[in-house]
Amino acid sequence: MIAAVGLGALIGILLGLLGGGGSILAVPALVYGAGLSLAAAVPTSLLVVGISSATALLPRLRAGLGQWRIAGIVGGTGAVAAFAGAAVNRLLDPRLVLAGFAVLMVVAGWRMLGDTDDSGGDCALPGGGINWRGCLPKSIAAGLGVGFLTGLFGVGGGFLIIPALVLLLGLSMPAAVATSLVIIVVNSAAGFAAHAGDAAINYRIAAAFTLAAIIGSLAAGRIATRLPTRRLQRAFAWLVIAIAAFVAVQAIVNPVTA
């Protein structure tokens, strides 16, 4: 229980600071830190991440940040794709799922280490507004990809969707963070619905994990605008890569049960 509280707080802090990323740590934290099976960890992680992201979104709603129509398109298509990802998850060996999860973490961490440029993209027009001719197909494609991975691996998708919103769609980083949190909430809800019947959820652990994550996200959200986002992003990228190495080793030498 102590491990669940500590790890939940860490994930909440990452969500509050970066508007995403904490979800990629939730599954390994619940499996190796709280001792849950993979089948129970996936829906529990989606529950925790969805509620924590909704909490982290509140101060950004008051600030008027976020592109809600883009969030609706990406989140809506992602919600459908999450069920397909969950169906594939049930066909795969848990060891293979965790190995794929580790590879995905390395790719995400490596991308986060690269420089970002929020000046381009098909969704940003010089005078404001959105170029829907170029933005709509890319928004749909991004939603389908992130939603599928949400269902397959039990992640909220912020570590993937924020780079997509900035680099592919051209949103500014503050708008991308707020928009990503909306998408994470939608994708997490769909992923949870798709996985809810896979295993019994330990609601005592889930409640402790979620409460700690909420407190962490609220506390971090208050100081997020005062901290160097780029430095935090690079530090988190290295943390993701380190966790990926740990998950890969555990999947080989100490496979979890389904």
What does DSSP assign to residue 63? T
What is the full DSSP assignment across 97-164?
A: HHHHHHHHHHHHHHHHHS---TT-SSS--TTSS--HHHHHHHHHHHHHHHHHHHHHH----HHHHHHI
Q: What is the pLDDT of residue 129?
A: 61
pLDDT tens for residues 58-104?
Answer: 777 766 666 788 888 988 898 888 889 888 888 888 778 778 878 88
Chain segment 193-241, per-residue pLDDT in tens: 887 777 788 888 888 888 998 898 888 877 766 777 677 777 777 877 8
Which residues constitute the domain of residue 38? Answer: 2-253
Tokens of 115: 């420089």
**How far, CA to CA in Å, does 69 sit from each of 89, 179, 183?**
30, 9, 11
C-alpha distances in Å from residue 89, one per residue of 74, 95, 132, 196? 21, 11, 33, 13
In-domain check, residue 258:
no
Which residues have CB under 8 Å from 103's CB, separation 6+? 244
Whether residue 94 is contained in a domain is answered as yes
In total, how many domains does the chain have?
A: 1
pLDDT for res 119 = 45
Close Cβ partners of 118 (under 8 Å, ≥ 6 residues apart):
166, 170, 171, 172, 173, 176
Does 22 fall in a domain?
A: yes
User: What count of other Cβ atoms lies within 10 Å of the Cβ of residue 159?
Assistant: 30
Residue 30 inside a domain? The answer is: yes
Residue 68: inside a domain, yes or no? yes
Is the full-model pTM beyond 0.85?
no
Q: Which two tokens stand for residue 95?
A: 């060891």
Q: Which of 112, 85, 118, 109 is nearest to 190 (CA)?
A: 85
The per-residue pLDDT for 156 is 63
* Residue 60 counted as domain residue: yes
The sign of the torsion formed by the CA atoms of 56, 173, 100, 79 equals: positive
Q: How long, in residues, is the chain?
A: 258
% of the chain residues with pLDDT over 90: 1
